[in-house]
Structure 1
């Protein structure tokens, strides 16, 4: 993930998904050159965009233990609903939120 503010993105994923930060490299200018978090079995890498780079939001999908809880935590952390929680015909319960940085989860 490329973010204009990876520090705040890290805070968001820790708060919403109980992400575990497993690595971080800070550049000489204080920007984050590389960070990794673990959410369940997934590892997500992220870093700060250069000021002249365009916004590059992304779309991520992964399983969580309690989708209702995570959805509510995301809204409390500033996300907006994209798709309300719903049951799919094959049994999955899904929902989508847009975080304050433009990414869809």
Structure 2
């Protein structure tokens, strides 16, 4: 598969969400996962149209849902440095537990549904 127009530093695959509360999602990603902004593009009213976040060596992109572009949720698996820390931050920010942290054969794992409807499966390998 040719990826000639892929920006430097971007992976071939990046999750993309459309969320009702783009400012809330931006804050959630920064606080819970320590994500950093690669680019946040806003309309004249200051609402997020499109945003790109760095998350470790990967990226997450999202935009604000509109009438023409309704919210779309998804599920993502993320390797993290500290499962318990990320899980607790997510729960304190209004996420719903899908699976409390526990040791598995493949690492310390947990899952939660964020306040925006997305499911996150995290593992400390």
Length-normalised TM-score, structure 1: 0.89
> Is 1:2 matched up with 2:18?
yes
Give the distance between the partners of 1:22 and 1:53, measured in 2 at CA.
22
Q: Tell which structure's C-alpha radius of gyration is larger.
A: 2
SS at match of 2:31: helix
Selected match of 1:27 from 22, 43, 46: 43
SS at match of 2:101: strand
> Is 1:96 matched up with 2:115?
no
Q: Which runs of 4+ in 1 moved over 4 A?
A: none
Correspondence 1:1-105 to 2 at 5 A: 1-51=17-67, 53-89=69-105, 91-105=106-120
Is the strand fraction higher in 1 or 2?
Answer: 2
How far apart are residue 86 of structure 1 and its match?
2.1
How far apart are residue 100 of structure 1 and its match?
0.8
How far apart are residue 20 of structure 1 and its match?
0.7
Give the distance between the partners of 2:66 and 2:33, measured in 1 at CA.
26
Give the distance between the partners of 2:37 and 2:22, measured in 1 at CA.
12
Contact persistence 1:86–1:95 (CA under 8 A): yes
- How many equivalent pairs are there? 104
Contact persistence 1:3–1:48 (CA under 8 A): yes
How far apart are residue 62 of structure 1 and its match?
1.1
> 2:7 maps to which residue?
none
Length-normalised TM-score, structure 2: 0.76
Gaps of 5+ in 2: 1-16, 121-125
